Amino acid sequence: MSEAEKKEKPVDVKIRTYVLTKEIPTEIRYSLNLARFTGINDSLVNPDLIWGIYGTSSLNSANSYASMDARRLKRKMYQVDLHVPIRMHPPTTRVINRENATESGFFHFERLDMSFRNELLDQMIGYCSEMENVSEESLRIQYPVSSMLNDLLRDKPMLIHRFMAENLNARVCIHSVRLGGGLTLKLGTVRRDVEGGWL
């Protein structure tokens, strides 16, 4: 397979949400059943975005918690998956540089190469400083350099909505969030109009 063919072959990105209901639904709309996460601010939610749990480990944990909630609430549970094709080479399991992210629209914030991560960190610090009216210096002290970007996005997830609003080439962003009880999981935030996505 040539390099050009590898770039054109889509990688399937799957994100999942859960529906807990007493009745068997006649229709399930993914966008009406988005996961609630710590730090979500409805007034800052970008209406062009939807999101769901991403990655094997996070999906396994979320499946267990959703199943326990369904039993506790005596409801039926439905897993609803959204599949988004991303044209990327190298595959999503590798380090992502600026070129990969820009061409594919896939930003996995835990897999960015160092220089690109530092560049995006500066951008996110600027957003956070502006949105919360705090100094950039205090934010850099609060978050150690080694894990600063991941921790910052986990604690302040609305930065992703701002980032995607201002970076229209970002089609899918993978980042950590906290759910109820302090559980940290990976979330995939995607544009509602992602071409070729299917349930």
Whether 10 and 86 have beta carbons less than 8 Å apart is answered as yes
What gap in Å lies between CA 162 and CA 41, rounded to an integer?
A: 12
Q: Look-up: residue for tokens 């609630």?
A: 36
Q: Report the mean per-residue pLDDT for the chain.
A: 88
Domain total in the chain? 1
Q: Domain span at residue 90?
A: 3-191
Whether 108 and 170 have beta carbons less than 8 Å apart is answered as no
Q: Is residue 119 part of a domain?
A: yes
Residue 4 has pLDDT above 70, yes or no: no
Give per-residue pLDDT as tens, 62-118: 999 999 999 999 999 999 999 988 877 655 567 899 998 999 999 999 999 999 999
Residue 8 has pLDDT above 60, yes or no: no
Q: Is residue 199 part of a domain?
A: no
Q: Is residue 113 part of a domain?
A: yes
Q: Which helix (H) or strand (E) holds 135?
A: none
What gap in Å lies between CA 38 and CA 57, rounded to an integer?
A: 19
Q: Is residue 198 part of a domain?
A: no
Q: Look-up: residue for tokens 């730090």?
A: 39
Q: Which helix (H) or strand (E) holds 165?
A: helix 158-166
Q: Is residue 197 part of a domain?
A: no
